[in-house]
Structure 1
Amino acid sequence: MEFGTGGGAGWDNDSSSDPRRSRKRYHRHTANQIQRLEAMFKECPHPDEKQRLQLSRELGLAPRQIKFWFQNRRTQMKAQHERADNSALRAENDKIRCENIAIREALKNVICPSCGGPPLHDAYFDEHKLRMENAHLKEELDRVSSMAAKYIGRPISQPSHFSSLELSMSSFSSYEMGCSSLDLDLLPVSSSSVLPIHLSNMDKTLMSEVATNAMGELLRLCQTNEPLWMKSRSDGRDVLDLKTYEQAFPRANAPLENLHFRTEVSRDSGVVIMNSATLVDVFMDSNKWSELFLTIVSSARTIEVISSGMLGSHHNGSLQLMYLELQLLSPLVPTRHFYVLRYCQQIEQGMWAVVDVSYNVTGGSQMVSHSQCRRSPSGCLIQDMPNGYSKVTWIEHVEVEDKGSTHWLFRDLIHSGLAFGAERWLATLQRTSERFACSMVTSSSSQDLGGVIPSLEGRRSMMKLARRMVNNFCASISTSHGHRWTTLSGTDEVGVCVSVHKSMDPGQRNGVVLSAATTIWLPVPPQTIFNFFKNDRTRSQWDVLSDGNPVQEVAHITNGSHPGNCISVLRALNSTQNNMLILQESCIDSSGSLVVYCPVDLPAMNLAMSGEDPSSIPLLPSGFAILPDGRQDQGEGASSSSDVQRSGGSLVTVAFQILVSSLPSGKLNLESVTTVNNLISTTVHQIKTALNCHSSS
């Protein structure tokens, strides 16, 4: 078993080879060269020798470099197509899993035909029946794959992670772990299932009408104050007057079939360091959009482009059907799933609006829209300001089915509308736009404490590595379709949630990864807790992996206007592991904060600091997500979203990842679960001791 280190094996192999060959491996093309190569690839993915020689002369590259670039690009495109094909099979995988669970529950309720009582337990019979059912389901999956292959004209490769991993669960003791069962399925961390959608011309016409009406509602919500919006006397937030809203939009408020639906409506506005054209470009690209809001968006995909916009106007009139998963950073809060229409319109010169609205769609004869959440017209109005800034007014309007399933720790935060409301979206946008602006600064703004980040390329490489680390951390505590959690009993009411998956992502070590997390409530303001984790002098009080050794910051990269938004490279003093450094990113805004860190070995860190591409450096991050508890009695008087943090209690999610086995066929054992459970429990105990919070639950 190995804790989340930077993984030096791959880099040691590189350092033992010829240094000249190592330099050739990390050759970086210029932006002009890449642009020219990409343009040629669109025209001809398989250039002949004459074309390669011509490119070689134009770009100043060797013909061999041109040849290898096109080979790598074709391989990349092939992998993307295969991932798209595999998404259709993930739904079938979910079906297999659900039927397997149903079989287990049915076996528990079997009645003996002779006496009418419970049958004698026969573990072999149960396992044999499950294996037979799994074999039958696998045959069904193979049949569906074969049919799909005939439909698209080429074979579909089933991902290896569809096969079960023998976890040796019989070795777990229910008494020792304090739980009745431990059912850990081995899943890919990003396997959200989106069924294929079939749209007719009539569907597209109806979609355009729905999107146009949604845009009209969004603009009115953004631009109208009283009597539609009123100011809250308690915190100064905008509150929608539902009676006035129902009169203004009667057809948009048909009686809900389920009385358990709860409405969350919020509005907020602020200045963003990004112009309207750039923001619109990001919003209409699902990958860029999810990257901008990675602490909120766990998954985003464009299902189909209904309209690419008006001729001669970039994105104006663009309409897309998208699938979204929105998250709160804790395994205790389920993700929210939506199929939405996203519509973009230019209102006037320098003013744009982007609206989302839920839309019921069908996959074949099956309804695939999610009834648990419905997104009424939501989005933002963007207006250009001088010096590349823009004013953004955000509307968030969601109807959520709530049958008492909200965890009691998060009830106040979610019901107040702060968890998924406009304030959180806007605060996240302001913080991430500042980070983007820092990455575009041409002069180095890194604080060079040890002479380790001398170049602009090194700073950007470190920012890219840290971004991937935070993305990995957020995915590790997600509750999306690809992440199922099992709760172990712990010292508090919540317990420790564990999940296991295969690490298959590029740049990561292949193997079995165990994620563990818990959320605790502390009667301490979020800002105080963030400062506690961020302070190098107090790190030894909670970091159980540092063995109580102090740390020293050797490099510092600023990520925003708040001093807490930064990337740090830390070195543990008096440590026996002199070849290890700690990469850490911290970020904070009015909606919450993060402190994410990961040990990285010295050769890999030097590679990133020198400006080389860090995408192949393995990362297994741990960290903390800090949120306000959402209680109404927080602070004194009105509070606006411009405050860094509201006072009051905090919800702190503590998360760790460990590499159980470097072999994809490795097995999970009791020792691994016990280790990570003790790691979480010890960390929580030390945090409460340092903050004098042992009386809190």
Structure 2
Amino acid sequence: MDFGDDQEGGSESNQHQQQQQNQNQRRKRYHRHTPRQIQTLEAMFKECPHPDEAQRANLSRELGLEARQIKFWFQNRRTQMKAQHERQDNCFLRQENDKIRCENIAMREALKNVICPTCGGPPIAEDYFDEQKLRMENARLKQELDSVAGLTAKYLGRPFTQLPQGTPQMNVSSLDLSMGGVPMGGVPMGGGHHQPFGGGLSLDLDLLSGAGLGMPLSDMPTMHLPAPVTEKERPDMAKMATRAMDELIRLTQQGGNVWVKIPGGDGRETIDVQEYDSIYSKPGSSNFRAGDIRVEGSRDSAIVCMSPVNLVEVFMDPSKFMEFFPSIVSHARITDPLVNGLNGRNESLVMMYEQLQFMTPAVPTREFSFLRYCRQIDQGMWAIADVSADMQREAHYGAPPPRSRRLPSGCLIADMTNGYSKVTWVEHMEIEDKSPIGPLYRDIVQSGAAFGAHRWVAALHRACERYASSLEVPGVMHGETTGVTAEGRRSMMALSQRMVSSFCGGMTASPQHQWTTMPGAAGNEVCVRVSMNQGSQPGHPNGVVLGAATSVWLPVPADHVFGFLRDENTRTQWDVLCKENSVQPVSRIPNGPNPGNCITLLRAVSSSQTPQGGQATILVLQESCTDASGCSMVVYSPIDIPAANMMMSGADPSGIPLLPSGFAIWPAGVGGGASTSAATPMAAGCIVSVAFQILISSLPSSKLNAESIATVNNLVSTTVQNIKAALNCV
């Protein structure tokens, strides 16, 4: 036996015990200050917030504290006092801001009643406002605001929201040239009938840089992002997410007591609100809801061609989530990653913010801040649960609690082997409709068809088909790719994906995207929005872009309208640019089993001669898609020949500028009522939203003139009339 080793081992054991004793002693030294110590420190802080070393030493002897503790206490107290002053300053600034807003409204109302002394008519806005000076002043103020926000964010250690949730938002643009305008409240109807958006001519054209089409919402100052979750709140958030997960699992497996099948709805179900409240309400709680609060609850399921692990990654990654649902999610971001998951995404918990849209300016977006909880509940079985955080925490941070919120909802994902999954989706929310909804879309939205589970599942099924087509998965590819190599195929699909996302984002009616109603020809009201890009966004043309959109009801089945608009053989009947031109497909990429889901590069050859003696050629990139909900899109954008060659060669297409235009088609009953079944979308008719983007100047400082507005008005109205004439709807 070697005793030397035992002695050495004993020495190491003694050292370890001594280290533990020292650590325990250090832990014991941490203790809360007594009331007397706090009172003495507070009195000293009032006299001298920055004590020197001698003063700290005297306090240490007097209070029995270490000098290091004294130093840290004063540092923390100064930080706390600075934060209190910051909150007071913010409250004062908000009050001043509200006061200025009220004065601005009063001045605008007074200007409406001003009479021109010369002719006795209403005044001309240009005589009272210098548009160029206002634009420069707005740009200067925005720079100052961004500078202050950057300094505040640096101090707070987190992104700063200039307008906290609950601050009154005025529905006016930064450059207000209003002449008796009324906020948008309606859309045109087909068959010669007309429901106005508002009375009078409105020129509220927002010319702020980046305030329109294509602007990343992360740069917008008016987003209602939630306050960061504190350490004290984290346990409550975890409990809330766990309860939501349990309720979601029960709802996905619940029988006919809670869910009611829609007649002719192919298995779709809506929630029985009274039955739900009786089962899931907390003991002793009240189920009272205000009269202006609606409950939307629905359930649907489908088998999609994607594995559960990949689907989980889509739901937990905001960028992929937006890419999969461009027609529903206009913006999504993680505002607070609370718990990082194990073994992939299992047990992940995040605080998310999202904006949900319906592709028309007539339907306002929905904003939610909620918890998203991901858990693997069994082998090959995942669940994603969403629930709005406790509304009381919003009031704690000085904002009124939101009245629209997500109730426990989400999806259950089951592995079906061979790369397929069964997704059971539950969508459940309480909604307060603050802004008016256009009459064409009112039934679609209030019935739950616009944001319900069936809409999500159909969009997910379509996105999975598109993703599988990009990978050329056997059994999903239908049809042959023509006129393009494998590298060119990937580049063409990436460019088309960006085009569709930009088109959908340009149609949103969020507070960051202000629309103005303009009178159009042939009884159509046209919504107009102006935006500017100063080169900060690759893939967007520099200059001033004018966007316009309108909606019309057609007594034609939705699938017939979709087939007509996507067919290159009938394009000359409605497309003003391709009038009297020969349109031919250059290449085509299928995007799933439905032949209507494809990406096409079109070439329009004009009969006229170019100055060089050749024929004029127009190239158009187009994507058409439809899903099980009956929602269809035809999106296109002209591209020049060098860009097309670069795309076809397989190069990175991210720098190719696009100005997407197109159509969104939704099956609807007579006059715009929601269709009861996607299986029979041709029962009554459809609603078609038409949207165009035009680059009116490559100079960001250019002024908008009446000629530009008249051009886009004429373009939209002519296109609508051409479509009606071709479909015999005049």
**TM band (smaller chain):** 0.7 to 0.9
CA contact (8 A) 1:579 1:601 kept: no
Say yes or no: does 1:354 pair with 2:384.
yes
Aligned to 2:12: none
Indicate how the Cα distance of structure 1 residues 672 and 199 shifts in structure 2: closer, same or farther if over 3 A, else same: same
Say yes or no: does 1:184 pair with 2:205.
yes
Aligned to 1:296: 328
* In 2: Cα distance, 1:632 partner to 1:355 partner: 37
Indicate how the Cα distance of structure 1 residues 153 and 561 shifts in structure 2: closer, same or farther if over 3 A, else same: closer
Aligned to 1:463: 493
Q: CA deviation at 1:250?
A: 1.2
* In 1: Cα distance, 2:159 partner to 2:362 partner: 39
Question: What secondary structure, in the 3-state scheme, does the structure 2 residue paired with 1:463 have?
Answer: helix
Indicate how the Cα distance of structure 1 residues 288 and 254 shifts in structure 2: closer, same or farther if over 3 A, else same: farther
CA contact (8 A) 1:168 1:668 kept: no
* In 1: Cα distance, 2:635 partner to 2:669 partner: 23
TM-score in terms of structure 1 length: 0.75
Q: CA deviation at 1:525?
A: 1.2
Letter in 2 for 1:481: P
Aligned to 1:200: 230
* In 2: Cα distance, 1:635 partner to 1:143 partner: 47
Question: What secondary structure, in the 3-state scheme, does the structure 1 residue paired with 2:508 have?
Answer: coil
Question: What secondary structure, in the 3-state scheme, does the structure 2 residue paired with 1:427 have?
Answer: helix
Letter in 1 for 2:563: N
- Structure 2: give runs of 5+ residues left out of the alignment: 1-91, 112-121, 163-171, 183-197, 609-614
Counterpart of 1:388 (choices 408, 419, 434) is 419
Counterpart of 2:569 (choices 534, 537, 556) is 537
Larger mean Cα displacement after TM superposition, 247-256 or 498-507: 247-256
* In 2: Cα distance, 1:689 partner to 1:627 partner: 20
Percent identity of equivalent pairs: 47
Indicate how the Cα distance of structure 1 residues 389 and 234 shifts in structure 2: closer, same or farther if over 3 A, else same: closer
CA contact (8 A) 1:589 1:644 kept: no
CA contact (8 A) 1:295 1:328 kept: yes
Letter in 2 for 1:144: V
* In 1: Cα distance, 2:463 partner to 2:604 partner: 29
Q: CA deviation at 1:411?
A: 1.4
Aligned to 1:653: 689
Instruction: Give CA deviations for 1:422-474 in whole Å, capped at 9, x if unaligned.
Output: 1110000000100000111279987455xx41x21110100001011111111
Instruction: Give CA deviations for 1:44-90 in whole Å, capped at 9, x if unaligned.
Output: xxxxxxxxxxxxxxxxxxxxxxxxxxxxxxxxxxxxxxxxxxxxxxx
* In 2: Cα distance, 1:474 partner to 1:412 partner: 21
Indicate how the Cα distance of structure 1 residues 297 and 94 shifts in structure 2: closer, same or farther if over 3 A, else same: farther
Letter in 2 for 1:674: A
Question: What secondary structure, in the 3-state scheme, does the structure 2 residue paired with 1:538 have?
Answer: helix
Aligned to 1:586: 624
Aligned residues: 580
CA contact (8 A) 2:345 2:375 kept: yes
Q: CA deviation at 1:493?
A: 6.6
* In 2: Cα distance, 1:229 partner to 1:609 partner: 50
Q: CA deviation at 1:366?
A: 2.8
Question: What secondary structure, in the 3-state scheme, does the structure 2 residue paired with 1:321 have?
Answer: strand
Aligned to 1:319: 349
Letter in 2 for 1:386: T
CA contact (8 A) 2:414 2:421 kept: yes
Which protein has greater RCO, CA pairs closer than 8 Å, 6+ apart?
Answer: 1
Q: CA deviation at 1:540?
A: 0.9
Aligned to 1:334: 364
Question: What secondary structure, in the 3-state scheme, does the structure 1 residue paired with 2:577 have?
Answer: helix
* In 2: Cα distance, 1:154 partner to 1:247 partner: 42
Say yes or no: does 1:663 pair with 2:695.
no
Larger mean Cα displacement after TM superposition, 549-558 or 229-238: 229-238
Say yes or no: does 1:105 pair with 2:141.
no
Indicate how the Cα distance of structure 1 residues 307 and 146 shifts in structure 2: closer, same or farther if over 3 A, else same: closer
Larger mean Cα displacement after TM superposition, 575-584 or 267-276: 575-584
* In 1: Cα distance, 2:418 partner to 2:269 partner: 28
Letter in 1 for 2:723: I
Instruction: Give CA deviations for 1:154-184 in whole Å, capped at 9, x if unaligned.
Output: 999x9xxxxx99989699999xx98433011
Larger mean Cα displacement after TM superposition, 624-633 or 409-418: 624-633
Instruction: Give CA deviations for 1:134-156 in whole Å, capped at 9, x if unaligned.
Output: 79966973773364265168999
Q: CA deviation at 1:303?
A: 0.1
Q: CA deviation at 1:211?
A: 0.8
Letter in 2 for 1:182: L
Aligned to 2:547: 515
Letter in 1 for 2:455: R
Aligned counterparts, 1:537-616, within 5 A: 537-576=569-608, 578-591=616-629, 592-616=631-655
Indicate how the Cα distance of structure 1 residues 256 and 385 shifts in structure 2: closer, same or farther if over 3 A, else same: same
Say yes or no: does 1:682 pair with 2:718.
yes
Indicate how the Cα distance of structure 1 residues 677 and 289 shifts in structure 2: closer, same or farther if over 3 A, else same: same
Question: What secondary structure, in the 3-state scheme, does the structure 1 residue paired with 2:244 have?
Answer: helix
Aligned counterparts, 1:303-452, within 5 A: 303-310=335-342, 313-359=343-389, 360=391, 361-362=393-394, 365-367=397-399, 370-371=402-403, 373-402=404-433, 405-441=436-472, 447=480, 449=482, 452=483
Say yes or no: does 1:215 pair with 2:245.
yes
TM-score in terms of structure 2 length: 0.72
- Structure 1: give runs of 5+ residues left out of the alignment: 1-91, 112-119, 159-163
CA contact (8 A) 1:305 1:320 kept: yes
Letter in 2 for 1:420: F
* In 2: Cα distance, 1:291 partner to 1:436 partner: 10
Aligned to 1:42: none
Q: CA deviation at 1:539?
A: 0.9
* In 2: Cα distance, 1:509 partner to 1:587 partner: 25
Indicate how the Cα distance of structure 1 residues 276 and 124 shifts in structure 2: closer, same or farther if over 3 A, else same: closer
* In 1: Cα distance, 2:503 partner to 2:594 partner: 22
* In 1: Cα distance, 2:672 partner to 2:364 partner: 26
CA contact (8 A) 2:227 2:397 kept: no
Aligned to 2:537: 505
> Which is greater in Rg?
2
Counterpart of 1:141 (choices 140, 145, 165) is 145
Instruction: Give CA deviations for 1:169-206 in whole Å, capped at 9, x if unaligned.
Output: 699999xx984330111214333424462321221111
